[in-house]
Amino acid sequence: MKALIFEAFGGPEVLQYRDIKDPQIGSEEVLLEMKAIGLNFADVYRRKGNYHLVGQPPYILGYEGAGIVQQVGSKVEGIKVGDRIAFADVPFANAELVAVPQDKAIPIPAGISYETAASLLLQGLTAHYLTKDSYSIKNEDVGMVHAAAGGVGQLLVQIIKLLGGKVIGLTSSEGKRQAAIAAGADNVFLYTEDWKAQVKDVTNDCGVDVVYESVGATLIDSFDVTRIGGTVVFFGMAGGDPAPVDPRMLMDTSKTLTGGDLWNVLTSRAERVARSGELFKWIQSGQLKISEATLFPLREGAKAHEFIESRKSTGKVLLIP
């Protein structure tokens, strides 16, 4: 089979498209012929060597994708050849064929394309647990979303709205402000503005109920615009490490700091299927929309990496075998 591989850490130029051996599935795995593969910043970090990789080169990136079942292991139940399957956390996805454990195989319902499934799952499941588990959005809650024009950001905006909340978004440019508004945010402010004053103004100095904090370096600012008794959900640090939080401040203001990690939530196939099923239903009903993905042939993976690193994309980037 063909795969996108690399043998040394570095820039996009280290990626090579070449023939390697087909994967051999175990008794509890299925073999997928890939139709669409999600490209994420975690792939960039792994390519650069920022994230640890096990084993020896050649390495294959990719953890998210969708395809059609070509072969089924002897102990697999409920999945047959020809089924359409997606996954959010299976390694070696940058290839024509991928061995997928049964417990990570998510069925794709009719009416959902391979491209939609590969665009939705990782970011969608993240937005789902953040709004259902880390902080359960209630009717009339006001949530503030950092990087509201990003992949997770746009989904957070939409899910908060469909759960009955209101959204204040933060973005880095006018173009991204418009993308967050299009996603449904009630107010969107720029990081270059005095956004803390603007947030306090639109909340009548009360502050927001919850902040979804993915920048890191803005953590203390996020607490500043959170109401007494409110919550900050920390789930990323794209803008740098956060400053230490004073527990005395938490006590004095009755505010809560909580963390979030998707892999602490996706602990079984039942969890994966149930949560993905709700996302797919929202897509089918039109309550949740994802922006059109930018497609690159898998053989042009280096160009796709250059594009995602340029920060010019507002939607998903997909690799197509």
User: What CATH number is attached to the domain comprising 89?
Assistant: 3.90.180.10
Q: What is the pLDDT of residues 196-214, one digit of tens each?
A: 999 999 999 999 999 999 9
Task: Say which residue, 316 or 312, is predicted with more confidence.
Answer: 316
Residue 126 covered by a domain:
no
DSSP letter assigned to residue 106:
E
Q: What are phi and psi of 154, to 5 degrees?
A: -65, -35
Q: What is the pLDDT of residues 274-311, one digit of tens each?
A: 999 999 999 999 999 998 899 999 999 999 999 988 86
Least confident of 8-22, 37-51, 95-109, 114-128: 37-51
Q: What are phi and psi of 92, to 5 degrees?
A: 65, 35
Residue 193 covered by a domain:
yes
Q: Kindly give the interhelix angle for 114-129 and 269-285, rounded to the nearest 10 degrees.
A: 110
Residue 15 covered by a domain:
yes
Is 103 in the same domain as 147? Answer: no
- Find the domain containing 165 and state its range: 139-259
Is 10 in the same domain as 111? Answer: yes
Q: What is the pLDDT of residues 115-124, one digit of tens each?
A: 999 999 999 9
Task: Say which residue, 41 or 204, is predicted with more confidence.
Answer: 204
Residue 241 covered by a domain:
yes
Q: Kindly report the CATH number assigned to the domain that includes residue 179.
A: 3.40.50.720
Residue 100 covered by a domain:
yes
Q: Please tell me the total count of domains within the chain.
A: 2
Amino acid letter, residue 177: R
Is 29 in the same domain as 102? Answer: yes
Amino acid letter, residue 80: K
B/e letters for 102-127, b = 16+ CB within 10 Å, e = fewer, are bebbbbbeeebebbbbbbbbbbbbbb
69 contacts: CB under 8 Å, gap ≥ 6: 30, 31, 32, 33, 79, 80, 81, 82, 83, 84, 85
Is 232 in the same domain as 277? Answer: no
Distance between CA atoms of 317 and 144, rounded to whole angstroms?
25
Q: Which 3 state secondary structure label does DSSP give 236? A: coil
What count of residues does the chain have? 321
Q: What is the pLDDT of residues 129-187, one digit of tens each?
A: 999 999 999 999 999 999 999 889 999 999 999 999 999 999 999 999 999 999 999 99
User: Domain ends where: 242, 259, 276?
Assistant: 259
Is 70 in the same domain as 167? Answer: no
Is 244 in the same domain as 274? Answer: no
Is 23 in the same domain as 67? Answer: yes
Is 172 in the same domain as 112? Answer: no
Q: How many CA atoms lie within 13 A of 100 on its CB side?
A: 37
Q: What is the pLDDT of residue 313?
A: 67
